[in-house]
Amino acid sequence: MAPRTDEESRWFWEACARQEFVLQHCVACGVIRFHPRTLCPACLSAETAFVRASGRGEVYTFTVTWQNQSPAWRERLPYVLAWVQLEEGPLVLSNVVDCKPEAVCIGLKVEVVFEDAGEGLAVPRFKPFEGA
């Protein structure tokens, strides 16, 4: 299912389709922000630069869902919903995939993977980091 987009966020989902996790960097105060938005939440500046994130982070906290009858989710059961803290600082609410829920723990190192969502968009999810 494609994410709902608007003028503030469509560029982000399109970048994900190019396998890029892009964050906004406030030129005025230096804050790196996620989710996409026009104004900096810290200083309200609209001066924005874009930085390609490493795509790596760690699980800040998570929950495992065992029951969900929504057609979009029931085929994924059980699934992990997690707040992932990126190396660049922002927290991202997403799923941890490609592992059993029992393998997920707070502090688990993860890296982004992009799931095609159709319509030229993709959704970032995270899997256990296997790199060095």
The nearer residue to Zn ion, 26 or 96, going by C-beta atoms, is: 26
Rounded to whole angstroms, how far apart are CA atoms 2 and 7? 15
DSSP 75: G
For Zn ion, the closer CB: 1 or 29: 29
> Nearest approach, Cβ of 40 to Zn ion (angstroms)?
3
What is the Rg, in whole angstroms, of the alpha carbon atoms belonging to the chain? 15
d(CA 58, CA 129) in angstroms, rounded, equals: 9
**What residues pair up with 114 in beta bridges, in sequence order?**
124
User: How distant, in Å, are the alpha carbons of 34, 80, 83, 108, 125 from that of 61?
Assistant: 17, 10, 5, 10, 15
Of residues 26 and 59, the one with the C-beta less far from Zn ion: 26
Site string for Zn ion, 17-56 (x = CB under 5 A): ---------x-xx-x--------x-xx-x-----------
Kindly state the smallest distance separating residue 56's Cβ from Zn ion, in Å: 24
Q: Shortest approach of Zn ion to residue 26 CB, angstroms? A: 3
How many residues at the interface with Zn ion, by CB under 5 A? 8
- Positions touching Zn ion (CB under 5 A) are 26, 28-29, 31, 40, 42-43, 45
